A and B are shown apart, each in its own frame.
Chain A
């Protein structure tokens, strides 16, 4: 135990003291923030310019209604209308001329409302970029609103009243848990589920690679035999796994703490700058979900890193890592695919069965626990199964490990590995 601790300490310190640890730890959140912020920044700047749209209205009634509706419903932060409308009378209409103005950038688009628009439900939109779905949809919505208004007026009804009568209804979501229903946003549950499962996914892939690389490096530098003369293969393997795990926890801890400060103080700061900024409410984590996350996160790491260590012991150069990692990366990626497939029905028999298979448990169980109320016995069963298979995997890996670390210079085949497992030594 003491030797495991000494190896753990070295594995941890050598990595945490490395400058790349610092760079990676700092850079990763910056990357994430950029990925989240940049698109919304682009979207915002994209909307700032006022769009000028010409309209040729053959019906004679639609244009004023469209303008009224658009100016009222589509405004920027300062309350100014987003669209600038120009009506072109039928007599002045010159398609060539309008085309040229669009090409020159004087116009963003022009619309033609045929007199048959009320029967055929169709009008024409001319623009340079007709692939901008957001823009197309806004125009469709505005014209639809105007057309609907004309139709309502034609039937002699009061548009205000119709609007009030046809107001759409939305569900307020409640999550049913043992303690009784509790209000929770459906989207936020999804966001939370994604954050937690993707964290586990990343940990398994990313820190697993540290384990496989660590073992291969010690083999290629021939330090392994020296270690073996002082400690048992089990001590070396477990020391490595725990040391790298501790490094991972340190890194994730730093991110979690900074995320906490960023969300609490960051929100306040952003609010003080942009008065009307709409910030998403933050998902809150229930105690049960948090506990499930921590347990499956840790067990998942131990289960998979034992496998990574065994695979690492089969290689002795950097290039071996490429093909050695597949047997372990495949089930991890598969769990993610299964998660996407099963999250619509997290209580179905498929979800229940698959989430009990140790290879998939870490990701699928966390998904199920966050998404809905999983019966407690299923969670306990999954934990027990995962603990047993982790112990089994550790035992199996240790047997492969202690033979593998002395093997050099040949690619290992599966029958050979089976033989190693059976060896008494």
Chain B
């Protein structure tokens, strides 16, 4: 069952196309990554799913319907710009948003207690939010999003501003929620950081869908066509356009995209003549590589 479906969605801000002909769907129980650089239209897309903004064209369905106010209780949303009532006590604030998401006052208080103790914030429950450290505030923000046990979780840049420990914690939390059947959509501009987390992705650039599908689909589309060589010496062959379409030299090693029709064997044969090789491997491209390549190609088409 598809939890979220976007069909040919457009959004304009004045002359600017924030989102252009965007379509994708998210099946139940998946983690879906909406990836792209800053300003690609990720936040606008998520806001449209939440119906905070309305699309100018196209349709968006959530749980099989146009999102009605009565359905928002089934969704947890974390905006990109985090915000809390700084003067409110932690416990009161959490319970308030729980109630606002349709929990009864008693249940909201019970859940607030549970979640605060789970994140080791019980001691801070009666403190004002403004007195908490930034890391703690981020935990509170996450609690607000998941307190009411939503079926669908929409997180705008959940990893930004987190330290590496908290990034891991957040990943584990998302995987745990996925195992409980929650559907998760999140956006990120740091693609390598999240690629292993996603079941499916949509890469967007300037509001347009550049590439989408399950992670394995995306990867197989580009195949295992990257060659990485750790070496010493002068690699003259890298400039040979009949062999190498593109290369990225990191000093110690170089990443190569061979020219069409060039086999790894042919490349290796040439390389051994010029450099001493420590390691030679055939790998799949990272999402970042794929994205850069696609955007470059597209840019050439546009200009």
Please list the residues of chain A having a beta carbon within 8 angstroms of any beta carbon in chain B.
Answer: 3, 6-7, 10, 14, 221-232, 406, 424-425
Q: Determine if B205 is an interface residue (Cβ-Cβ < 8 Å).
A: no
Stretch at the interface among B34-42, B94-102, B252-260, B269-277: B94-102
Query: How far does the Cβ of B18 sit from chain A's closest Cβ, in whole Å?
Result: 12
Is the Cβ of A6 less than 8 Å from the Cβ of B79? no
Contacting residues, chain B, for A425 (C-beta < 8 A): 53-54, 56
Q: Is the CB of A222 within 8 A of B100?
A: no
Q: Is B198 among interface residues, defined by CB-CB distance under 8 A?
A: no
Interface centre among A10, A229, A425 (most CB of B within 10 A): A229
Report Cα–Cα, A228/B85, bound state, in Å: 14
Nearest 7 A/B pairs, CB to CB: A222-B83, A425-B54, A229-B77, A225-B79, A223-B83, A222-B81, A230-B100
Known interface pairs A14-B88, A230-B72, A232-B69. Does A225 touch B99 (Cβ–Cβ under 8 Å)?
A: no
Q: What separation, in Å, do the CA atoms of A199 and B144 have in the docked complex?
A: 41
In the bound complex, CA of A425 to CA of B57 (Å): 12
A3: B residues at CB distance < 8 A: 100
Binary flags per residue of B39-67, CB closer than 8 Å to A gives 1, else 0: 00000000100101110100000000000
Can you spell out 8 A-B residue pairs with CB atoms less than 8 angstroms apart?
A10-B96, A222-B82, A223-B84, A226-B84, A226-B97, A229-B52, A229-B77, A406-B47
Q: How many A-B residue pairs have C-beta atoms within 8 angstroms? Tell me.
A: 57
Contact at A227–B85, with CB atoms within 8 Å?
Answer: no
CB closest chain-A residue, reference B73: A230
Complexed CA–CA distance, A281 and B53 (Å): 60
A203 to B83, CA, bound (A): 30
**A231 engages B84 (CB within 8 Å):** no
With both chains docked as a complex, state the minimum distance between the C-beta of A406 and any C-beta of chain B, in angstroms.
7
Alpha-carbon gap, A10 to B75, bound state (A): 22
Interface string of B69-111 (1 = CB under 8 A from A): 1001101010101111111100000001101110000000000
CB < 8 Å neighbour of B87 from A14, A230, A231: A14
Give complex CA distance A226, B47 in Å: 11
With a cutoff of 8 Å between Cβ atoms, the chain A residues found around residue B52 in the complex are 225, 228-229, 406
In contact, B85 and A6 (Cβ under 8 angstroms): no
How distant is A175 from chain B, measured CB to nearest CB, in Å?
Answer: 50
CB distance from B140 to the nearest CB of A (A): 11
**B69 — which chain A residues lie within 8 A by C-beta?**
231-232
Per the bound structure, the CA–CA distance linking A230 and B47 in Å amounts to 12
User: Nearest chain A CB to B219's CB is how many angstroms away?
Assistant: 33
Interface residues of B (CB under 8 A from A): 47, 50, 52-54, 56, 69, 72-73, 75, 77, 79, 81-88, 96-97, 99-101, 144
CB A53 to nearest CB in B, in angstroms, measures 64
When the two chains form their complex, are residues B54 and A6 in contact, meaning their CB atoms are under 8 A apart? Answer: no
- With A222-B79, A229-B75, A229-B79 already in contact, the answer to whether A7 and B100 are too (CB < 8 A) is yes
CB distance from B67 to the nearest CB of A (A): 11
A-side contacts of B56, CB under 8 Å: 425
Contact of A230 among B81, B82, B86, B101 (CB under 8 A): B101
In contact, B88 and A226 (Cβ under 8 angstroms) = no
Distance (whole angstroms) from the CB of A47 to the closest CB of chain B: 51
| Chain B residue contacts of A227, Cβ below 8 A | 100
User: How far is A425 from B13 in the complex, measured between Cα atoms in Å?
Assistant: 11
Residues in B with CB closer than 8 Å to A231 are 69, 72, 100
Cβ of B88: which chain A residues have Cβ within 8 Å of it?
14
Instruction: Name the B residues within 8 Å of A228 (CB-CB).
Output: 50, 52
Q: Give the nearest-CB partner of B80 in chain A.
A: A225
Most-contacted residue by chain B among A6, A226, A227, A406 (CB, 10 A): A226
Bound-complex Cα distance A87 to B101 (A): 90
Task: Give A368 Cβ to nearest chain B Cβ, in Å.
Answer: 42
Extra 20 A-B pairs, beta carbons < 8 Å, given A221-B85, A222-B81, A228-B52: A3-B100, A6-B96, A7-B100, A10-B96, A14-B85, A221-B83, A221-B84, A221-B86, A222-B79, A223-B83, A223-B85, A226-B77, A226-B84, A229-B75, A229-B77, A230-B77, A230-B97, A230-B101, A406-B47, A425-B53
CB distance from A295 to the nearest CB of B (A): 31
**Cα distance, A222 to B137, chains bound together (Å):** 13
Whole-angstrom distance between the alpha carbons of A295 and B286 in the complex? 68
Note all chain B residues with C-beta closer than 8 A to A14. Answer: 85, 87-88
Contacts of B83 in A (CB 8 A): 221-226
Q: Please, which residues of chain A bring their CB within 8 A of the CB of B97? A: 226, 230
Residue in A10, A222, A224, A229 whose beta carbon sits within 8 Å of that of B72 in the complex: A229
Chain A residues lying within 8 Å of B144, measured Cβ to Cβ, are 226
Residue picked from B86, B87, B99, B100, most chain A C-beta under 10 Å: B100
Q: What is the distance, in angstroms, from A328's C-beta to the closest C-beta of chain B?
A: 25
B4 to chain A, nearest CB (A): 15
State in angstroms the CA–CA spacing of A231 and B96 once bound together.
Answer: 12
Q: How far is the CB of A215 from chain B (nearest CB, A)?
A: 14
- Report A-chain residues with C-beta under 8 Å of the C-beta of B86: 221
**Most A-side CB within 10 Å, residue of B79, B87, B88:** B79
Q: A424 and B100 in contact (CB under 8 A), knowing A221-B85, A222-B81, A222-B82?
A: no
CB-defined contacts of A222 to chain B, threshold 8 Å: 79, 81-83
Cβ contacts under 8 Å, A221 to chain B? 83-86
Given the interface pairs A14-B88, A221-B84, the reply to whether A226 lies near B53 with Cβ below 8 Å is no
Partner of A6, one of B53, B87, B100: B100
Tell me the complex Cα distance, A346–B69, Å: 48
